[in-house]
Amino acid sequence: MLGNFSYHNPTKLYFGEDSLSYLKDELKNYGNNVLLVYGGGSIKKSGLYDEITAVLKECGKNVAEVSGVMPNPTAEKLREGVKTARENGSEFILAVGGGSVCDYSKAVSVSVHCDDDPWDKYYIRFEEPSCEIVPVGCILTMAGTGSEMNGGAVITNHEQHLKIGHVFGDDVMPKFSILNPRYTMTLPKYQMTAGIYDIMNHICEQYFSGEDDNTSDYISEGLMRGLIHASRIAVKDPQDYEARSNIMWTATWALNTLVSRGKSTDWMVHMLGQSVGAYTDATHGMTLAAVSLPYYRYIMPYGVKKFARFATEVWGISAEGKTDEQLAEAGLAAMESWMKELGLVMKISDLGVTDEMIEGIADGTIILDGGYKVLDRDEVVSVLKASM
């Protein structure tokens, strides 16, 4: 751990089948006007909506609602939520759903008391909030993004063909999150596996960088091994509570700022995937799956030792008789076959990308410099073409 850093995570977690029972106590800490935010209706179908509204009623809260938060929430929907929160004097936001609902609630929280347009302020000018922030609590129904314990809030602007994430600070992170693995069991398999790959890629984004001996990398390897093991069980039996609970807990630790301590981080798979998402509105985890292997095969020569370590420590491949290059390729081949086993989308053309979109997707790809190789625009285009 050669660098200097601080570590603090303010989100309180309640995990397990009984975790909703803590909601009542938590609600006592916040104002009476609650904004209940949820997605397209899965929580009504599962019965969770009724359970939560009963608790809110029991606590005497005045509840306003924003429903229909879509996967990859939009700037337009964000403005609508801000308006509803203002009209109802919302003092607390309760997000019930996946990463989209949690991200969206954070974006609303920093915009209610701010006069500027939130898209321009936070996503184009990348400013930090200078206004009062409405506290957010999450009840998570999908494992993947880590939004339940981080400051990330990704918003899509379809007119501008941009999908951009702003990682806000401690004061925007959820005050508490309720994680009941049972809630994730109603997810369609496509969403479950997209979430699993999102988790894997969050760890990879933070693992594939640097050359020092770093505790964060050892934690990452353990998380990846556990995730791969649990995913193989869950994909055969999605109702396996033990596997689903391990996946949910891994998702939280994969992106709650822990495994990035003391490291530079890459995040180029996410930059490519987000730009693909801006053009196609495809499921986040699938956009990552479809660009990952061409990207990693391209940068692997620049960080071959780490890719070789990935092969031995994560995939259990023997180093005997192999060069670092051979090991590195074997590790990526193992990841590829695992991805196919999960049934992930392996090509961006299968997500609706056409040849005509490639240049625009490259324009919308933010190029970061924390990984093993800083891509130029031509290299972005060639990775995208190799992902078709």
**Which residue ranges make up the site for ligand NZQ (CB under 6 A)?**
39-42, 71-72, 97-101, 103, 141-142, 144-147, 150, 152, 154, 165, 183-184, 186-187, 191, 195, 198, 255, 270, 284-285
The SS3 call for residue 178 is: strand
Q: How far is the CB of 145 from Zn ion (least distance, A)?
A: 6
Q: Which does 183 bind (CB under 5 to 8 A by kind): Zn ion, ligand NZQ, none?
A: ligand NZQ
In 3D space, the residue among 81, 28, 30, 20 whose CA is nearest the CA of residue 54 turns out to be 20
Q: How far is the CB of 95 from ligand NZQ (least distance, A)?
A: 10
Long-range contacts, stretch 355-358, CB < 8 angstroms, 24+ apart? 355/388, 357/279, 358/384, 358/385, 358/388
Q: How far is the CB of 69 from ligand NZQ (least distance, A)?
A: 7
Nearest-CB residue to Zn ion? Answer: 198
The answer to whether residue 198 forms part of the interface with Zn ion (CB under 5 A) is yes
DSSP state of 387: T
Q: How far is the CB of 339 from Zn ion (least distance, A)?
A: 15
The smaller minimum CB distance to ligand NZQ, of residues 26 and 198, is found at 198
DSSP state of 37: E
Q: Side chain identity at 188, as an amino acid letter? A: P
Q: Which does 265 bind (CB under 5 to 8 A by kind): ligand NZQ, Zn ion, none?
A: none
d(CA 67, CA 39): 6
Q: Which does 289 bind (CB under 5 to 8 A by kind): Zn ion, ligand NZQ, none?
A: none
The smaller minimum CB distance to ligand NZQ, of residues 293 and 328, is found at 293
Q: Which does 331 bind (CB under 5 to 8 A by kind): Zn ion, ligand NZQ, none?
A: none
Q: Which does 210 bind (CB under 5 to 8 A by kind): Zn ion, ligand NZQ, none?
A: none
DSSP state of 70: P
Q: Which does 97 bind (CB under 5 to 8 A by kind): Zn ion, ligand NZQ, none?
A: ligand NZQ
Where on the chain is the footprint of Zn ion (CB under 5 A)? Answer: 198
